[in-house]
Amino acid sequence: MDALLKKILEAPGISGYESQVAKIIYDELKKSCTEVQIDNFGNVIAKKGKGKKKIMLAAHMDEIGLMVKHITKEGFLYFIKLGGIDDRILPAQRVIVKAKKGDCVGIIGAKPPHLQKEEEKKKPLKYEDMFIDIGCASKEEAQEKVEVGDVIIFEPNSGVLNGKFYYGKAIDNRIGCFALIKIMEKLEAAAEVYAVATTQEEVGLKGARTSAFKINPDYAIAIDTNVSGDTPQITERESCLKLGQGVGITIIEASGRGLIVNEKIKNLLVDTAKQNKIKYRIDVIEGGMTDGAIIYMNREGVPSGVLSIPSRYIHSPSGVFHIDDLDAAVELAVKAVEALAK
């Protein structure tokens, strides 16, 4: 696995607390771009090239996570969720509390099924009924390690699952951020191209709103992940995306509540993929949105598109993706920006 990809996947950065992953992306973009800054909202904004048009590329760098809400007298931690997390994945997960006094390992616990009454077993387990065990015997001992308001990430992990199938923490959307870096390395277009690693996407597309207002682009492309449909219990009707079969060209999000891709941008992306023999699939999303949903409503409107990298198990401690799909997203973004610049 590429060392930079691994570093980005494993870096901490839940919504609103992206500074560590932002520093990594900032340092990498400085190698290929003429201007790089971190704005007031925490977005990393890099600029490259000159021309009449301004083109914005966006990939969010925040990950889902948790935050310490309460410390019990016995030394256990109650928490809240930041971002969309299915409560069913939480029990027994290892987490890292990013405390001011240093990282603190914890395990998410809940009442064991052996001790549950029949009526309890029938009810879905909710995160409010869970806690984090950090191995302390009292509130006082726990407070020596952590405090209310400390952020919590899933235990960092990444690697090669098999062949070109990779896995890792926070693939949504660190693989998009990695793609952003690679795009700017390759890009030579007659336009002002802005690469933006956005903040707080998982909690309301917030960084995309402020950065798009600042840049005021003529065109935009968001690079993100979307649910792959090639696992059991998902029908092709629900998702036609499959790992290793190319990048998704999204044309609508959340049944129209999110981005509805400009027809010219849709045609440009599809034609560019065909002309350059880049593997792709058309992606129609019934649920979920990307930064594109907020960018395209900026000021008087911005013609925008979305490139989706098919992924399994997003919004969980470990996701799976295919490196060829990531490469296809990079290639298509580069060619599309060149076409938009003309």
Of 63, 192, 201, 331, which is the active-site residue? Answer: 201
175 found inside a domain: yes
57 domain residue, yes or no: yes
Q: Residue 112 domain-assigned? A: yes
199-247 per-position pLDDT tens digit = 999 999 999 999 999 999 999 999 999 999 999 999 988 999 999 999 9
163 lies in a domain?
Answer: no
Q: In terms of residue numbers, what domain contains 121?
A: 65-154
**In a shared domain, residues 148 and 173:** no
Asked if 336 and 56 touch (Cβ cutoff 8 Å), the reply is no
**For residues 198 and 220, what is the distance between their CA atoms, to the nearest angstrom?**
13
Average pLDDT of the chain, as a whole number:
96
Residue 161 belongs to a domain: no
Chosen domain end from 120, 154, 188: 154
Whether residues 82 and 146 fall in one domain: yes
Question: Is 201 a known active-site residue?
Answer: yes
pLDDT the model gives residue 191: 97
**Which CATH number do you get for residue 273?**
3.40.630.10
End residue of a domain, out of 154, 178, 197: 154
The contacts of residue 174 (CB under 8 Å, 6+ apart) are: 8, 9, 11, 21, 61, 63, 168
Each residue's pLDDT tens digit, 179-189: 999 999 999 98
Per-residue pLDDT at 317: 97
Q: What is the pLDDT of residue 285?
A: 87
pLDDT attached to residue 116: 80
Alpha carbon 91 to chain centroid distance? 22
How much is the pLDDT for 118? 83
Confidence band of 147 (pLDDT split at 50, 70, 90): very high
Q: What is the pLDDT of residues 83-120, one digit of tens each?
A: 999 999 999 999 999 999 999 999 999 988 888 888 87
Q: How does pLDDT run across 153-175, given as a tens digit for each residue?
A: 999 999 999 999 999 999 999 99
Residue 333 confidence class, pLDDT cut points 50, 70, 90: very high
Same domain, 301 and 224: yes
Residue 210: what pLDDT? 98
- Do 309 and 336 lie in one domain? The reply is yes
Cα gap 325→309, rounded to integer Å: 6
User: What pLDDT is attached to residue 153?
Assistant: 98
Helix (H) or strand (E) holding 336: helix 323-341
Question: Any idea how long the chain is?
Answer: 342
pLDDT at 73: 97
Q: What residues have CB less than 8 Å from 269, skipping those under 6 apart?
A: 249, 280, 305, 307, 332, 336
Q: Please say which residue of 122, 154, 186 terminates a domain.
A: 154
Q: Is residue 36 a part of any domain in this protein?
A: yes
Whether 321 and 213 share a structural domain: yes
Query: In this structure, are 114 and 218 located in the same domain?
Result: no
- Tell whether 45 and 130 lie within a shared domain: no
Q: Look at residue 22 and tell me if it is in a domain.
A: yes
**Can you give the CATH number for the domain in which 125 is found?**
2.40.30.40
Domain match, 48 and 97 both: no
Task: Say yes or no: 304 and 245 in one domain.
Answer: yes
**Number of domains forming the structure of the chain:** 2
Is residue 164, in this structure, part of any structural domain at all? no
What is this structure's pTM? 0.96
Q: Are residues 54 and 191 in the same domain?
A: yes
Distance of alpha carbon 270 from alpha carbon 339, whole angstroms: 12
pLDDT of residue 119: 83
* 202 and 287 belong to one structural domain: yes
Same domain, 239 and 316: yes
